[in-house]
Amino acid sequence: MSLCEQCARLQKTCCERSDVEVALTEGDISRIRRFCRTDDFYHRLRVPEELVATYENPEHHDAAVAVYVAGLFDEQGRRPILRKQDNGFCLFVADTGCVLPREVRPLVCRLYPYDWNDQHKLWIQAPYCPRELYADETDLVLQIGDSQEVALKLVEQLYEELARKGEQP
């Protein structure tokens, strides 16, 4: 049984958590639109009121991800995110996991369990994975992630797509 299947027996998975928002690039939107043949899977939402000041004022951004934040948000302070089901689960999660083929999934989903910054530095940040199910970060990546090399290419793609914000891919 895969780590994610074991996880699903223990707890809500990362895809089922109502507090997880999946932010999309225009490239993500284009790939998912082609796969689903609809636009109903996402909306452009402002961040919660308590975070508006942070996102509207560049000097408040975490300097390490200022480029990422600037690329994600539009002039109205909104960013595209995946819609959720009524139960708070991601729209695309089913009993068997994500229904999207891996190459169609949002880049941030494909990058998990890596986190990154504007300098394209990568590290493991897996707050939702049950710690008792993997030995260490190497084991976690072996079980659910891509190699550093592949993840780095995804980060480069992420920033390229954010830089093309406003263009129709």
Q: Which is nearer to ligand SF4, 31 or 105 (CB)?
A: 105
> Running DSSP on this structure, what letter comes out for residue 48?
P
Q: Which is nearer to ligand SF4, 77 or 97 (CB)?
A: 97
Shortest reach from residue 141's CB to ligand SF4, in Å: 11
Shortest reach from residue 157's CB to ligand SF4, in Å: 16
Identify the bridge partners of residue 84 per DSSP, sorted by sequence position: 90
Q: Which is nearer to ligand SF4, 4 or 36 (CB)?
A: 4
Contacts 24+ apart (CB under 8 A), 129-136: 129/3, 129/7, 129/14, 130/6, 130/7, 130/10, 130/11, 133/3, 133/6, 133/7, 133/10, 134/3
Contacts with ligand SF4 by CB under 6 A lie at 3-4, 7, 13-15, 22, 82, 90, 92-93, 98, 100, 105-106, 109, 112, 128-129, 144
Q: Which is nearer to ligand SF4, 129 or 158 (CB)?
A: 129
Sequence length of the chain is: 169
Q: Which is nearer to ligand SF4, 53 or 142 (CB)?
A: 142
Shortest reach from residue 136's CB to ligand SF4, in Å: 15
- CB 23 within 8 Å of CB 108: yes
Shortest reach from residue 93's CB to ligand SF4, in Å: 4
Shortest reach from residue 58's CB to ligand SF4, in Å: 28
- CB 58 within 8 Å of CB 70: yes
Instruction: Find, among 101, 100, 61, 58, the residue nearest to 82 by Cα.
Output: 100
Vertex 28 angle, CA 93 and 54, to 5°: 90
